[in-house]
């Protein structure tokens, strides 16, 4: 469903991503791993339109999305999460998700301003959907908490809920487990697993190697912007070049 051909992006004279080819099938979880500064987040930015590639092509479901803007790409069904806390901090958890349901409602400008009956009905649907989503990710008890007051782990989960609210076909998760405690990690892994069982395709950047290995059907390893290996978790585990890349940097490959 997603096909990347020769993706390249230069910053100044440096190639952050260079000639990347990869593809993923519908309903798969693919991991994108590599040492710090390998260009993983840049790949996300290139796929979702936040950066324009210098060269190369991104094709999603047979459609070339290379030069599209991020919001268009979201309407095609690719939605990403961000590293760190990128939330609407002054909104409640519920409002965060409600706003992210932007794509579904089809509430017209004048409808929403004049609070017509149809708009109220649609808004009610959205609130219901948002609440279901919060049930799914386990934030339902915190629906009325201001996002900036959430604990770090909950912020990360809210980030995922926001992305899910846009109803992606392909979900791009940027280090979903970072900064979580052991319990939150296992909950989030279960959540990702549940999403996958519902048929969602997921592309995952993760530093937690054990989690990546257990979740993904396929793993792509980047180093200095180039793909150095691709294969099943077992193949990657035994790949000498990957081991070299990780040992060569200070990254611990646990």
| Binding interface with other proteins (CB under 8 A) | 12, 48, 50, 69-71, 74-75, 79-80, 82, 86-91, 95, 98-100, 102-103, 105, 107, 109, 112-115, 119, 123, 162-163, 165-166
Residue 102 CB, nearest distance to other proteins (Å)? Answer: 5
The tokens for 102 are 């932007």
Residue 15 CB, nearest distance to other proteins (Å)? Answer: 16
Residue 128 CB, nearest distance to other proteins (Å)? Answer: 15
Q: How far apart are CA 87 and CA 47, in angstroms?
A: 21
Judged by beta carbon, residue 150 or residue 236, the one nearer other proteins is 150
Residue 172 CB, nearest distance to other proteins (Å)? Answer: 9
Residue 90 CB, nearest distance to other proteins (Å)? Answer: 6
Residue 253 CB, nearest distance to other proteins (Å)? Answer: 30
Chain-centroid distance of CA 47 in Å reads: 11
* Alpha-carbon dihedral angle through residues 28, 208, 214, 4, given to the nearest 10 degrees: 20
Judged by beta carbon, residue 69 or residue 190, the one nearer other proteins is 69
Judged by beta carbon, residue 18 or residue 166, the one nearer other proteins is 166
The tokens for 230 are 């691709």
Judged by beta carbon, residue 87 or residue 229, the one nearer other proteins is 87
Judged by beta carbon, residue 46 or residue 107, the one nearer other proteins is 107
Q: How far apart are CA 17 and CA 199, in angstroms?
A: 29
Judged by beta carbon, residue 25 or residue 71, the one nearer other proteins is 71
């Amino acid at each position: 469903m997603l096909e990347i051909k020769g993706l390249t992006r230069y910053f100044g004279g440096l190639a952050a991503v260079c000639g990347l080819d990869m593809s993923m099938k519908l309903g798969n979880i693919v991991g994108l791993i590599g040492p710090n500064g390998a260009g993983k987040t840049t790949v996300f930015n290139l796929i979702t339109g936040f950066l324009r590639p210098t060269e190369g092509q991104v094709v999603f479901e047979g459609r070339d999305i290379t030069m599209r803007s991020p919001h268009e790409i979201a309407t095609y069904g690719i939605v990403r999460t961000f590293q760190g806390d990128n939330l609407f901090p002054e909104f409640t958890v519920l409002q965060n998700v409600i706003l992210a349901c932007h794509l579904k409602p089809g509430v017209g400008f004048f409808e929403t301003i004049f609070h017509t009956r149809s708009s109220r009905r649609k808004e009610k649907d959205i609130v219901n959907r948002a609440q279901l989503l919060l049930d799914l990710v386990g934030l339902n008890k915190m629906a009325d908490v201001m996002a900036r007051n959430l604990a770090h782990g909950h912020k990360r989960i809210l980030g995922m809920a926001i992305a899910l609210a846009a109803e992606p076909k392909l979900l791009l998760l940027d280090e979903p487990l970072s900064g979580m405690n052991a319990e939150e990690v296992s909950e989030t892994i279960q959540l990702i697993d549940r999403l996958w069982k519902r048929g969602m395709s997921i592309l995952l950047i993760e530093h937690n190697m054990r989690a990546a290995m257990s979740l993904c059907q396929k793993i792509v390893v980047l180093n200095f912007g180039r793909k150095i290996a691709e294969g099943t978790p077992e193949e990657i585990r035994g790949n000498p070049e990957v081991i070299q890349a990780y040992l060569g940097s200070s990254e611990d490959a646990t």
